Amino acid sequence: MPDRILLTGGTGFFGRRIADSLRGQGHTVVTPGRPDFNLMDPDSTRRTLEQVKPDTVVHSAAHYGGLGICVAEPIEIFQRNVIMGVNLLDAASKVGVKKFMTIGSACSYAGAVNGDMKESDAWSGPLHPSVEAYGFTKKVMEVGMRAYQRGCGMIAQMPIVTNLYGEHDVFGEYRSHVAAALIKKFADAVIEKKKQVVCWGTGAPVREFIYVGDAAEGVARLLASGHNEPLNLGTGIGTTIKELSEIVARLTRFEGEIVWDTSKPDGVMRKVLDVSKMAEVLDWRPPTSLEAGLAKTVKWYMENKAEADARA
C-alpha cells in the first residue's frame, strides 16, 4: 500500500534519486527543505512533521564528503549528523510515524575487517580513524532506531550503502567522493592539455562502487521488504583506486601520465561489502556495471560542467 513519505535531503545527489524510485513505487514523497525545515532545530523539525503527517520517514540528509572533509571537519561532521538524526527520530516518534529509515554507510564498519564486510561485522572493532566521526554517527542512528523501535514500535530500517557515484554528484576535491573527484581531475586535465594527473595515495586501496540510480532502487526495495535489520547495499565487487583512475582516464580521453602522491593518505586498504543477504532479502542485484555507470556520469558532468563546478 502506498505511503506518504517525508524524505530528508530529497533534492541532493542521492536523495533526488531515492525520491524518483519511491514515487515509481506509487508513494507520495514530500521533500521539505530549509529555511522552513531545519533539522538542527528540534522545534522546526517537529513542526514540519506535524504539517506533513508522514507514514514513513526516510532520512537521507547528511553533512558528509570524501576523505578530505572527513579529516578536516570531524567536529562538524559528528555534531551536525548526530543532532539532525536525533531531532528527526524524536519528532517522528511524537507524531506517530510508523516506519523510519536512515541511510547508513560502509564507513560505519570496523577499520580492520578481514575479507568482505558482513552485517555481523558491524560492531567487531574500532572504525578507521580517517572516517571515524562520520561512521560513528551511523552507529548512533542504528542504536537510536532500535531504541525507538522498542520504546514506541516505530519500525526501523537501515541500508548500509557503499561508495556512490553518478549524475548530480559533488565534483569539487574538498567534498567529493573518489569517483567524482577523479572525473573532475581528469576532465580538467584534458581541457587544460596537461600531460600529467596527480592522484592521492598509492592507488592500491580496494573500494566498491554502486551507481546512484541502482542504490536508490535498492533503498526503495528495502522499504517495501519490511526487513528491519541493517542490510548491506552494494555490488560486492572490489576495484582498486588505480583501476578506477584508469577507467576514468579512458572515458575522459586523457592520454597523459598518472602519478601517485604517496604523501597523501590511502584510508582503509579494503572496503567491500558482502551482499549475499541483500540478494536474498531483496531478490535483486544492481544492474549497472562500473564502466557503464561511469560513462553516464562522465557524459553528464561534461554536459553540465560549469554548473557542477560552481556547486563544488
Q: Which of 134, 165, 211, 301 is catalytic?
A: 134
Average pLDDT per block of 10 residues along the chain, 312 residues long? 92 96 97 93 97 98 72 86 97 97 94 86 88 92 96 96 95 78 96 95 95 98 95 98 98 97 85 96 98 98 92 68
State the cell numbers at 273: 561489502
Q: How far apart, in Å, are the Cα atoms of 95 and each of 5, 46, 56, 88, 224?
A: 13, 8, 11, 11, 22
pLDDT of residue 175: 65
Contact 98, 81 (CB under 8 A): no
Q: How far apart, in Å, are the Cα atoms of 115 and each of 106, 128, 262, 278?
A: 14, 15, 24, 17
pLDDT of residue 69: 64
The whole-model pTM stands at: 0.94
Is residue 211 among the annotated active site residues? no
pLDDT of residue 74: 86
Contact 294, 251 (CB under 8 A): yes
